[in-house]
Amino acid sequence: MKRVVWTLFWILTATVICSAQSTFYFPQIADGVQGGGVTWKTTVFITNPAAVGTASTAVQIDFTT
């Protein structure tokens, strides 16, 4: 019985971790020059770790004030 419970637990955990949709919130985006010549810049990298030959996906990035 313990094996069944642990197996279900790991299957559900893997399902949650590997879900198809993820939403990430970045609290701050920087772009500009601070006093003293310090430059701030935020870079966003987007990757698709899916196997070669799988269907393409859509990504939406929203910047708000």
Helix (H) or strand (E) holding 8: helix 2-17
pLDDT at 21: 64
Model confidence at 12: pLDDT above 80: no
Q: Is residue 34 part of a domain?
A: yes
- Domain range for 31 is 24-48
Strand partners, 1: none
Q: Which residues contact 10 (CB under 8 A, 6 or more apart)?
A: none
Q: Is residue 39 part of a domain?
A: yes
pLDDT at 5: 83
The domain total for the chain is 1
The residue ranking higher by pLDDT, 21 or 56, is 56
pLDDT at 20: 58
pLDDT at 19: 61
Model confidence at 32: pLDDT above 80: yes
% of the chain surpassing 90 pLDDT: 2
